[in-house]
Amino acid sequence: MADPTQTPEPAPPAPPAGIATAPAVPASPFRRPAFRRLTVGWVATNLGDSALYLMLAVWVRQLTGSDAAGALVFLALGAPTLLAPFVGHVVDRVSRRRLLIAANLGGAALVACLLLVRGAGDVWLIFVVTFGYGLVANVTGAAQSGLLRDLLPDEELGSANGTLSSIDNAMRIVSPPLGTVLYVALGPWAVVLLTTACFLATAIVLMTVRIDESPAVLEDAHEPWARQVTAGFRQLLSEPTLRLLTIVMALAFAANGLLNATVFPFVEVGTGAGPEALGPLQAVQGAGAVVGGLTAARAMRRTGERLLVAWGLALLGAGLVVGLAVLIVQPDAAWMRWAGMSAAQLLIGFSVPWAIVGVVTYRQRVTPPRLQGRTSAALNAAINVPQLGFLALGAALLAVIDFRILVAICAAAMVVAGIVCALVRPRGELPASAPS
């Protein structure tokens, strides 16, 4: 890892006059067989994941007849984030490759338990599996982050993170319709079997991966256990730029929680259609996210991680402003409403990967190898816990405040967060990696 306090090496001498030089070509992580295999596993994992998680909420709603019970599925899925310090501690103490294999095998066994559900009396089992399923996702996310840091040099991390983000979002376009078709045509067990098979496939692929992992020895093993567990949060707050990015992202995604609470009125009033308009607009947002993930590394090479995060948040705010304009004006022509809302969703989808890839890549670069799991889990908690809290607050506020006010607050918060992130340059910021 580069040390920002060291004196940089002198630049190589310029080539003799008249001799053309080829432009530097950014290194691609795909030249490494281990990364290609990790990518295949990521595709399989996300295919099953995106097909299952929405189906679980629909299944609980169908079994119980309760909208509230269906919504609790998402709470059970997000609740394991509260265990982030402990998850990260485990990830940093063991072989991450072996942990990923074990987690995927455990995930397959856990999801297969859903085959035992026969009626409303078994809904408790769905909630237990959902919680465990969310815990597996937290473990695999933290472990994979550490593996990438062990596998890739600095200049390839941005491209790798952008690629994985694009795969994630592409699967969110493809998999939910696939899961819906299987659920309607063959029942929930078809989706359960698909997800189980995806977990098993990922585990098999990971068994073929060979990575020279950093030793599973904690640098702070002599410290009290509580300090070891919370080391990820301390790392996020100790490095100046990482502290700025963490605070800005936590505040921005807390505002995003308010936005998530307005999703149905946002879509219905914006398009003039019913809740079924959410499907097509989510597909548009997903397409924007795929493009955002694929372009994030190139943009980051020009701007650096901090400014990439700033641009991502500012563009997210701009997308909300476009949507808010449609909500306020409410054009008479249906095509104008759809065009405006599609533009807003496209911009929103495009911007989020820039912010995520920027903060994740910088975190990976400035964090020692055996703190990767704990900082990954801590960053996940710092972003998602406030978002869940403000989602609940937004749902309560909808009863007393026009939802457009909440959208306006979110738009303003995103733009302000982006501006602050761009203007504040902490001391000792690690220079952006040059492509090799």
Contact 195, 49 (CB under 8 A): yes
Residue 77 pLDDT more than 50?
yes
Residue 320 pLDDT more than 60?
yes
Give the per-residue pLDDT at 218: 63
Specify the 3-state DSSP secondary structure of 352.
helix
Give the per-residue pLDDT at 282: 80
The four Cα atoms 406, 397, 386, 172 give a dihedral, to 10 degrees, of -70
**pLDDT per position as a tens digit, 5-35:** 333 333 334 434 333 333 444 568 888 899 9
Distances in Å between the alpha carbon of 94 and those of 132, 147, 342? 20, 12, 45
Give the per-residue pLDDT at 229: 86
* Helices (H) then strands (E): counts for the chain: 16, 0
Instruction: List phi, psi (to 5°) of 145.
Output: -60, -45
The domains located in the chain, with CATH, are 32-209 (1.20.1250.20), 226-429 (1.20.1250.20)
Give the list of residues 6+ apart from residue 186 with CB closer than 8 angstroms, or none: none
The first and second tokens of residue 365, run together, are 């670069």
Tally Cβ neighbours within 10 Å of residue 200: 18
Nearest of 171, 172, 89, 94 to residue 138 by alpha carbon: 89
DSSP state of 5: T
pLDDT confidence bin for 217, thresholds 50/70/90:
low
Nearest of 115, 142, 136 to residue 126 by alpha carbon: 115
- Tell me the average pLDDT across 67-74: 75
pLDDT confidence bin for 251, thresholds 50/70/90:
very high
Give the per-residue pLDDT at 3: 37
Tally Cβ neighbours within 10 Å of residue 185: 8
Give the per-residue pLDDT at 436: 42
Q: What is the pTM of this model?
A: 0.82
Give the list of residues 6+ apart from residue 36 with CB closer than 8 angstroms, or none: 30
Least confident segment among 44-58, 79-93, 111-125, 133-147: 44-58
Nearest of 28, 148, 140, 130 to residue 72 by alpha carbon: 130
Specify the 3-state DSSP secondary structure of 87.
helix
Task: Tell how far CA 84 is from the center of its chain.
Answer: 15
